[in-house]
Chains A and B, each alone.
Chain A
Amino acid sequence: MDNILEMKNITKNFPGVVANDDISLDIRKGEIHALVGENGSGKSTLMNILYGLYDADSGEVFLNKKKVDITDPRTAINLGLGMVFQHFMLVDTLTVAENVILGSEPARMHFINYKKAVDDVARLAKEYGLRVEPRSKVADISVGQQQRVEILKALYRQAEVLILDEPTAVLTPQETEELFQVMNNLKKQGTTIIFITHKIKEVLAISDRVSVLRRGKLVGTKNTKETNHPELAEMMVGREVLLRVEKTPAQPGKTVASIININVRDRVGTHKVKDVSLDIMSGEVLGIAGVEGNGQQELIEAITGLNRAESGEVLLHGKPIHKLPPMPIKKRGVGYIPEDRHKRGLILEYSVADNMILGLHSQAPFVEKFLFRNEKAIQENAQKLVEEYDVRPPNIKQLVQTLSGGNQQKVIVAREFSRNPEFLVCSQPTRGLDIGAIEFIHKEIIRQRDNGAAVILVSAELDEILSLSDRVAVMYNGEVSAVLPVEKTDERQLGYLMLGGDAQKAEGDVEIETAAE
């Protein structure tokens, strides 16, 4: 079969990371080509380059054997490329038909022929089995329907190559099934599809060939029929050197925190956390493994008071805290390293010293009578923590925004850990950090555990989960699918579970303790 599209030696650097490192990818005409890899492996970047949203630093793109220079989306559209973004590019206040025709309107003398627009959209929708009402407002239809609108947008522009960026991430299983039917329809009619996902089950279900990216590099391309779940999992996760943390076996004490049947829905009503129950003991690290977006963040926000659970309870030493705002929860001894340090954890325009008191700024000794700041106490506190937690440069007056990511994270760690919390919630504590900072933060987490803290660790990095945790809970699709002692599991098995593998049928010769028990 002919290659419709060839990307050759694509390299793209972002400040501090190589997002795409010399990637060469061939797409055959009429195939469904899956592009898989963990978050941050460079899949979206590669496709954004193809669609003209990013410029590659180097590399070439050939379409039908002809070299093309795609500088903007308009060019991509004219060349027959269509893209369905993970975050939909739809105008809420417009109708389905208006969104579909936007930029390519059927018009005479600039007057839009709305009847034709609606008819065309209805016809296309029928042809490809994309059920959606052209006259509805986009704001009023479901997420699954919105995705169909996105696909229609590409088809309306006569896309020959359709890029779907993580289309199943926002869909229910039934909607995913329907999407697959649509994809098969499209394939039958000759459309080539590039399907981005990190769910191996989906790759196996729908694709003809699959390419795996890992840390910006192409690991390989396989015929789907000639590969299997474990092989793909291994390609995705890799077998890189683990960052081993020295630690003694856990000495779990009494239960510090209990999470009981927590359910969380997001603003649009999607069920994000489904009936999750967990106990965290003093002196242990409970790792929560899972591909991102499977409800971990929502669970953490419900625990820390940043978001309300729809139902369920969170108990700290047997007392409910799930109805409290963040501050009182904090005061009862909960420490938190937020997932997004820039959004939640730090005020970048504040100095190191001022960030070190965020949340404690209203308490003695940092404030005196008449609300005056006690500069001496603030500085002494910062000086002490900067030294203890090795923040560099050790200048407490420096603005946090001028620090490296690792040192920014150390500021948060110092602030949260120095109050010796009894319950510590760490969400992606080492994301995007250098090795030195990762090691340091890992040691500190273990030190907290050894001091008797109960620790929850959410991480998308399996290495991190395996090296720090004493028990591992796997979250998939909002549910805790398994809770395993760390010594009885391994990367392969967790990877399998994280990607939606069945806990009962998990490979390996270990016993599985399911969440239900």
Chain B
Amino acid sequence: MLRLKLQQSSLISRDLLVPIVSVLLALLVGAIFILIVGENPLHAYKVLFLESFGSIRSIATTLQRATPLIFTGLAVAFAFRCGLFNIGAEGQLYVGAMAAAIVGITFTGLPKIIHLPMAIIAGMVAGGLWAAVPGLLKAKLGVHEVINTIMMNFIAFYLTDFLVTGPFHGGRWAPETDRIMPTAVLERLFVPTRLNTGIILAVVAIILVYIILWKTRTGYEIRAVGFNPTAAEYGGISVSKNIVLAMVLSGALASLAGVEQILGVHGRFIQRFSPDLGFMGIAVALLGKNHPVGVFFAAVLFGALRTGAAAMDRLTDVPRELVVIIQALIIMFVAADELTRRLIARRRKA
């Protein structure tokens, strides 16, 4: 009876159940770590969430932290819809960031209306091309994309290391480029936070991804390949073409995370600036059920964790790395959803 009821309950609530329970379980296990430190978990979590949602300013910070995660989350989710596992978002965002920075630095005297889009597009093209390589290798030679995207990550790290310490090394001692021109900057929206117009770009990306996937022929084909390549092939859909296309678009989305960080936050390319934004994108996509709207909420949650972590670190004895542990646990629980489901079922029986 109970099971029947469960199935009858609306689709949305059932889809949300596993992610929500996974987050709660992760917070629960996280509480153990807080206890190790000798703090009160409830107090630590209260500080964490007050600091990330308690005021307009903290909400702005949360949104700023969420912005790059929206892009990487969308990137992973988009590829996933085509049956591809893009764990190369990290590398794609680095090459995208570097391309945007180079355009942002080298072109002078352009009006903003040209310079800014140029920098953004340069980043997207670089990220897209970077992702095209594993896409092509998969489509043409059948090499699984997982290993290749990992390898491409490291190649991207070293390539950008080289560029930022060599040809594009800035005037200062630190491994970073010069500042980009003001004409290529994504404007701050809420000073003193670093929230910038990148968030608008992110929202546009969410809408565009939704439209592409569900309102266009391209999306129909990409999802068909993701669900059932043999049937798709019979339906005249080119599997290899769509694999490459999905990877390119995924890479372009991932690169926007880097572009936003450079043009909106740091104002220059800094060596290894990304705090695992690409890998966190996997968590965001997973938690958001690979749906653009879900990605938004998952990214905001992760953004909040990062924002609150700083305050928690300051105001309690709990190191900020607690949220990294929590994020890892969320991924684990969402991935092992069979476990999570079983825990839910047991809870209901009890």
Binding site for B on A (CB under 8 A): 304, 306, 325-327, 330, 336, 338, 343-350, 354, 358-359, 361-362, 366-367, 370-373, 375
* 4 pairs of A and B residues whose beta carbons are closest in the complex: A327-B236, A358-B235, A359-B235, A367-B217
A372 with B231, Cβ < 8 A, contacts A327-B236, A361-B220 known = no
Give Cα A371–Cα B218 distance, bound, in whole angstroms. 7
Judged by a CB distance under 8 angstroms, whether B51 is at the interface is no
Ordered by A's residue number, 14 sampled pairs between the chains whose C-beta atoms are within 8 Å are A306-B233, A325-B236, A326-B233, A330-B236, A343-B230, A346-B231, A350-B227, A358-B234, A358-B235, A361-B217, A361-B220, A362-B221, A366-B217, A372-B215
User: What number of A-B contacts does a CB cutoff of 8 Å give?
Assistant: 63
Specify which of B215, B216, B218, B231 is in contact with A358 (CB 8 Å cutoff): B231
Q: Are A338 and B217 in contact (CB under 8 A)?
A: no
Q: Are B230 and A361 in contact (CB under 8 A)?
A: no
Interface string of B198-232 (1 = CB under 8 A from A): 00000000000000000111101101100110111
Chain B nearest CB, measured from A430 CB (Å): 20
Chain B residues 222-260 with CB under 8 Å of chain A are 223-224, 227-228, 230-236
Give Cα A350–Cα B224 distance, bound, in whole angstroms. 8
Q: Are B236 and A306 in contact (CB under 8 A)?
A: no
Instruction: For B230, list chain A residues within 8 Å (CB).
Output: 343-344
Give Cα A325–Cα B233 distance, bound, in whole angstroms. 10
Binding site for A on B (CB under 8 A): 215-218, 220-221, 223-224, 227-228, 230-236
Q: Are B234 and A347 in contact (CB under 8 A)?
A: no
Q: Which of B228, B232, B233 has its CB near the most chain A CB atoms (within 10 A)?
A: B228
Give Cα A367–Cα B221 distance, bound, in whole angstroms. 12
Q: Which of B218, B227, B231 has its CB near the most chain A CB atoms (within 10 A)?
A: B231
Give Cα A350–Cα B81 distance, bound, in whole angstroms. 13
Chain B residue at minimal CB-CB distance from A372: B216
A343 with B215, Cβ < 8 A, contacts A350-B224, A354-B220 known = no
Q: Are B234 and A359 in contact (CB under 8 A)?
A: yes
Q: Are B227 and A349 in contact (CB under 8 A)?
A: yes
A326 with B216, Cβ < 8 A, contacts A347-B227, A347-B228, A350-B227 known = no
Given A326-B233, A326-B236, A362-B236, 11 new contacts (CB under 8 A)? A304-B234, A327-B236, A343-B230, A344-B231, A345-B231, A347-B227, A358-B231, A359-B236, A362-B217, A371-B217, A372-B216
Q: Are B227 and A373 in contact (CB under 8 A)?
A: no
Instruction: For B215, list chain A residues within 8 Å (CB).
Output: 372-373, 375
Give Cα A336–Cα B61 distance, bound, in whole angstroms. 57
Specify which of B216, B217, B224 is in contact with A347 (CB 8 Å cutoff): B224
Instruction: For B233, list chain A residues within 8 Å (CB).
Output: 306, 326
Give Cα A347–Cα B232 distance, bound, in whole angstroms. 8
Instruction: For A358, list chain B residues within 8 Å (CB).
Output: 224, 231, 234-235
Chain B residue at minimal CB-CB distance from A329: B236
Instruction: For B223, list chain A residues within 8 Å (CB).
Output: 350
Give Cα A327–Cα B236 distance, bound, in whole angstroms. 5
Instruction: For B221, list chain A residues within 8 Å (CB).
Output: 361-362
Give Cα A349–Cα B227 distance, bound, in whole angstroms. 7
Chain A nearest CB, measured from B6 CB (Å): 16
Give Cα A391–Cα B230 distance, bound, in whole angstroms. 24
Instruction: For B218, list chain A residues within 8 Å (CB).
Output: 371
Chain B nearest CB, measured from A34 CB (Å): 36
Give Cα A336–Cα B215 distance, bound, in whole angstroms. 27
Chain A nearest CB, measured from B270 CB (Å): 39
Instruction: For A306, list chain B residues within 8 Å (CB).
Output: 233-234
Chain A residue at minimal CB-CB distance from B218: A371
Q: Are B236 and A371 in contact (CB under 8 A)?
A: no
Instruction: For B224, list chain A residues within 8 Å (CB).
Output: 347, 350, 358
Chain A nearest CB, measured from B131 CB (Å): 21
Instruction: For A372, list chain B residues within 8 Å (CB).
Output: 215-217
